[in-house]
Each structure stands twice: as C-alpha cells, then as structure tokens.
Structure 1
Amino acid sequence: MNEIFPAEWEVSSPEILAGTVTSRITKVRLRSGAPAIVKALTPIGMKDELPGVHYLDWHKGCGAIRVLAIKANLLLLEYAGKRTLLDHLNEFGDEAATAISVEVLSKLLNTPHHDRSFATDLIPIRRQFARLFIKAERDRNDRTESLFVEAARIADDLMNNPVDVQPLHGDVHHENILFGDRGWLIIDPKGLLGDPMYDAANMFYNPLDRQDLRASEARIAAMARTFSHAFDRDIRTILSYSMAHAALSASWHMEDENLEEAARSLEVARAVQNVLASLV
C-alpha cells in the first residue's frame, strides 16, 4: 500500500476498476471508511488529463466530483457512485434522464467563481474542432458541398460569437453522470474552454448505442426546447452546437477509417440539421 499510494492519504482496500492508456482507476477506502477513487495517470495521461483535473478543481464539487488530493501522477478523487444516468434512462426513460442532465448542467453553469481565473491549459473549443475544419477544407478544395462544410461554417460562426465562456467538461454523456451520496455528479472531464452550450450539445449525441434516440427528430426538437428553456439560450444556438458536434465526431471516425460509425454520426447531424431547418 505505502509503495502505491501516499501514506498521508491513509487509504485501504484497493480494488482496480479499469485501466487505459491514460490511467489506472482504483477504488479505495478513506480513513473514514468512505469510498474514493485513485486515478494513476500514465505519461500520456499526464499530458491529456490534467486540463480535466483543473476543470474539476475550478468547480469545487458543484455538480462535479471533488479533487481530494494530488501527488505526482496520482489523483485522489471523490467517489461518484455506480448508478449511471444510462441506468436511469433504461429504467425511467429518456425524458427523465434529460431532466437530470439539466439539473447537473445547471449546477455546473452556476458554479460560484467570483472572477477566479481559468487554468491556462484548458483546451480552447476551436482546437477541439480542428479535425472538422480540416475535413471541411478538403471537401471545399474538392468542390464537394458536404455536411462537413456546412457544419464547419456553423461551428466557426458559433466560436466567433461565444456566450459566457467558461471551463467545459467536453464529454458530457449518460455514463459520465453518476448517482451517489451527493446526488448526481459528473466525472471524467476533458477540460475545454468555451460556450457551455457545447456541453449541452453532447447530450443530443448520446447514448451512443441508442441510434433510435440520437437520430430522432422529435427527440432532438424536444431536448432543444428543454435546454433552451432551462438555460435561457437561443434554441438555434443549442441545435447548431449539436449539429457541429455530430459532424465533428463523424470527422474523427472518418480519420480512423471507421466508416460505419462515421455514417451513424452523420445521420445524427442530418437529423439535427432538419430540425434546424424546420425552425425557419
């Protein structure tokens, strides 16, 4: 134990939960007996995941898990629970899950910050969209008026006119929202910087294995109205971020030559595009 975790943390009962190229996740017990998570970052994780840590630190437990301690490449994190929002959706339906996502996102949006500065390593949202802009430029050069070209134009316009720029989670989905002792909390942020409606837009694209929901124009329209009312933002902005995010995902999949997933992502983008067109 002392060789793996800092002695001053006084953690026990380690149980490895997962391992990736960026980290190893271990569930432990604090001195009080409460569960916690130790996240051991790999060299890749030290590069890729620290912006997310700074995102959590900025929120200080408001809607997100708390960072309890940091030492070298080890993070001691609050345990969020094991019931996911996807579990809740499967049991109570999509509308109930959407209502909870509004609750969590509202807490994140309303984190008291008192003009605290943002971490310098948060990733500007424009950089997040780099592959979409590259794909759109290739299509323009080929004189192809693709959905990527339209989505890139929309994304560029959104990023030129941001509102309430703040730290963003960057990967909001049903399996990153968990229920525990403090209610519903979000985990595993990427740590971006931009308009918070990008985080809301991620929900349209999820759950990943529910194409019947993701590509449903009725669901897209209903979710957009819910978010627009909850966050007091223009419904077009929310839908535009949603379309741009789906096209961004498609550009990532095309780069990986995963054409099946790219097609699924484009189906979502077209469905959102149709809902946007219906507002004219």
Structure 2
Amino acid sequence: MTEGESAWLAAAPWGINDRVRSRLAATAHEVAAEWNVELGEMIAAGRFSYIALAGDDAILKVVPVEDDEADHEADALAALAGDGAVRLLRHDRARRAMLIERARPGYDASGLSEYEAMRVASSAARKFWRPAARGRPFRWIGDLVPRWLDNAGDHYLVRQAKEIYATMRPADATLVHGDFHHHNLLSNGDRWVVIDPKPMVGEPEFDVPTLLWNPIGHQPTKDSVDRWIGAFADAGLDANLVRKWAIVRGTYQGLPLAQGETAETSPQLRVVRALL
C-alpha cells in the first residue's frame, strides 16, 4: 500500500481512517444511485475499502486510491470470469468502484480444519494461477519486492531477506493473488472462491506464504509451517522456493513491527524465524 498517515489507521483495528471512509462512502452512494442498486449496510470486515451490501446478491466495493496494490483487482476478477473467484458484475475504473457477486453462505476458510483449509486453498489457488504477462495490465513482483524490502527498515532479518532475494529470479508468467489466505477464501454454494486479490504477475510459490501466518490469531510453529509447505509441494510447487518467498515476504510484511508487537508475537516473523 502507498504509505500515508492521512489514509491509514496507525494501530489496530488498522484499515482506512474515518476521513477516507467518509469519502469512499460518498462515492459508493453516488455510484449505487447511478447503477440503480440498493445500498445496504457496510460490511465491517472490509477495513481497507468501503464495502457494502448491494441488494440481495451483490456487494458494492470502493477501493481507496491510496491502495495502489488493488489497482488491478477488477482486471483480475474480469479475467477469472467467476471461475474460482467472485464474479465482477460492473466496474467504474475512474471511481475505483466494483459491483461484485455476493458469495453465499460466505463463510471464510478460517473455520476449517488445517487439512481442509489446505485442500480448499490448493484447489482455489490452481484456478487462480493462470498465464498472464507483465504490463497487461498487471505489475511484475520483481519490480515491487525490492521496494517493499527497503521499506521494512534496517534490521538483521531484512539484510538476510535481501541476501536470499538476491539469489532468486522471479518468474513473470503467472497471475498471482498477492494476498492469498483463509479470510480471502469464501464458501459460495458448493465451492470456494477467492476475494480481494492484489493481483500481480509472478510465480505460484509467491502466493503461499500468507497462508502460513493466517488465520488471524494463529501462532505459527515450525511444524505448522512445514505442513503447509509440504501440502503445496505435494500439489507440484517448489518447496524450497516457497521457503525463500516465506522468508522474504514474512520479513517485509512483519517489519517494522506493529505497535505492541514483538518478534516473538508477530506471526510473519515467527514464520521467518522457523525457516532460518
């Protein structure tokens, strides 16, 4: 995300601040009126965008311009066309507004057993990972990761992560989700679909690490990390490459430490330390 204290809360529950939420709410009501959809209650779980019910079967989402990682969310949903993801129904690019299929019953994967979560995540990921080319319109992970590591600050883990990243040659042929975890996997009828992509072009192994430190409240252990990596290795991914991405991504997502957090309590850094 583009950093800016004017847009984001500096402490839990995180997400957009009241000023940005009010701005997005105004846009949502304007778009809903033009599209002739009934705007319902705001969904509290949507902390980084304005998300509200839109009639019985849809969701209206307005993404803040400050969230540049979500610039191509609608493009990814359009490319997937409802195959493994919620369906994009309508889109206003200028106002960053999307009308999206509502997943029903809409339970996320955090309530599943670890085994079931692995099975569901692996199946959903294989549908999402499809051929894509950088710049059409998605950005390449290799153009972004170095900046994210720089933003993580001066820490010995950052130095180690940079050394590991220097040995990597990220691919640029696969659409990746960018924020793939339990809370972005929803039940929809008899299947599971992904929501909230931060889409980029890269390689499948890039997407696995965020599962290792989720769901919210999970405290990863070496055993749990190894089980998740093993599950995706069994599905055909390169386990060593997943480990490298887990160290790199865990470092830049875990640092600088959030307020009240330590290296021992940060889920991301627990994964990193389990792998080093």
Same fold (TM over 0.5): yes
Is this contact kept in 1: 2:90–2:99, CA < 8 A?
yes
Matches within 5 A, 1:241-280: 241-251=245-255, 253-254=256-257, 259-260=261-262, 264=266, 265-273=268-276
Distance 1:151 1:238, change over 3 A: same
Once the two structures are TM-superposed, the CA of residue 21 in structure 1 deviates from its matched residue by 7.7
Q: SS of 1:44's equivalent?
A: coil
**Counterpart in the other structure of 1:14:** 40
**Counterpart in the other structure of 1:193:** 201
Matching residue's letter, 1:102: S
Matches within 5 A, 1:130-145: 130-133=147-150, 135=152, 138-139=154-155
TM-score if structure 1 supplies the norm length? Answer: 0.75
Once the two structures are TM-superposed, the CA of residue 76 in structure 1 deviates from its matched residue by 0.7
The more displaced of 239-248 and 20-29 is 20-29
State the distance in 2 between where 1:48 and 1:220 align: 26
String of CA shifts for 1:107-155, please: whole Å, max 9, x gaps: 112x4x5x7775335353441452424557x45xxxxxx3322222222
Distance 1:28 1:205, change over 3 A: same
Once the two structures are TM-superposed, the CA of residue 10 in structure 1 deviates from its matched residue by 4.2
Show structure 1 runs of 5+ residues with no match: 140-145, 274-280
Q: SS of 1:53's equivalent?
A: helix
Pick the aligned partner of 1:64 from 85, 99, 104: 85
**Counterpart in the other structure of 1:96:** 116
Once the two structures are TM-superposed, the CA of residue 175 in structure 1 deviates from its matched residue by 0.7
Distance 1:210 1:154, change over 3 A: same
Percent pairwise identity: 22
Distance 1:60 1:244, change over 3 A: same
String of CA shifts for 1:81-129, please: whole Å, max 9, x gaps: 3200012x2xxx21111111011011112x4x5x777533535344145
Matching residue's letter, 1:197: E
Name the structure with the higher helix share: 1
Show structure 2 runs of 5+ residues with no match: 1-27
Tell which structure's C-alpha radius of gyration is larger: 1
Pick the aligned partner of 2:212 from 201, 204, 216: 204
**Counterpart in the other structure of 2:18:** none
State the distance in 2 between where 1:237 and 1:203 align: 15
**Counterpart in the other structure of 1:236:** 240
Once the two structures are TM-superposed, the CA of residue 42 in structure 1 deviates from its matched residue by 3.8
**Counterpart in the other structure of 1:277:** none
**Counterpart in the other structure of 1:38:** 60
**Counterpart in the other structure of 1:180:** 188
**Counterpart in the other structure of 1:122:** 139
Tell me how many residue pairs correspond in the alignment.
245
**Counterpart in the other structure of 2:229:** 224
State the distance in 2 between where 1:195 and 1:68 align: 28
Distance 1:135 1:5, change over 3 A: closer
Matching residue's letter, 2:57: P
**Counterpart in the other structure of 1:276:** none
Once the two structures are TM-superposed, the CA of residue 168 in structure 1 deviates from its matched residue by 1.7
State the distance in 2 between where 1:164 and 1:3 align: 38
